[in-house]
Amino acid sequence: MVLWEFIVICGIVFIILELFVPSMFFLNFALAAFVTAVASLYTAKMLSLVMVFFVFSFLSFAFLRPLLLKRKSKEIETGVNDKYIGKKAKVIEDVSGENGAISIYDERWNARTDDGSVISAGEEVEIVRNDSLIMYVVKR
């Protein structure tokens, strides 16, 4: 087996590991392995190839990983906020600062009020924010 083939196989293994552990960690090593495989076509000096791998791994961690994680967090942020915030909902269980439930789009959500006031079942509310699976509402 030629050296560049071995390095490409290592890069593929890193990609497979990234598929199972989606943390944007192994992807950096995969990219560095592919760059090192190209460099191995020009030199067979092991020290040079190790340096290329480490330099590109570092550069990938320093510049690419933050960009990918930033993009991933934007996808997470836009999930609930765009669909529910500012929308009207109907209270199906009395909502207070500690518990309650609302219905919106025929979905049941746990709800709370920020100020601790109680909103009775059957009233209409507006969703002002969410915290994970809990919607915070105000009386309309």
Cα–Cα distance, 61 to 131 (Å, whole number): 31
Give the H/E segment covering residue 50.
Answer: helix 46-59
Phi, psi (degrees; rounded to nearest 5) at 33: -65, -40
> pLDDT of 55-96, one tens digit each?
999 998 888 877 777 765 444 454 555 678 888 999 999 998
**pLDDT score, position 74:** 46
Q: What average pLDDT does this structure show over 25-53?
A: 92
**More confident position, 82 or 103:** 103
Domains observed in the chain: 3-81 (no CATH), 85-139 (2.40.50.140)
**pLDDT score, position 8:** 92
Please say whether the dihedral angle defined by the alpha carbons of residues 72, 76, 78 and 79, taken in this order, is positive or negative: positive
Q: Which two tokens stand for residue 121?
A: 């079942």
Res 52 pLDDT > 90 = yes
Beta strands 107-113 and 124-131 are unpaired
Grouping H, G, I as helix, E, B as strand and the rest as coil, residue 21 is coil
Number of H helices, E strands in the chain: 4, 5
User: Closest by alpha carbon to 100, among 87, 88, 113?
Assistant: 113
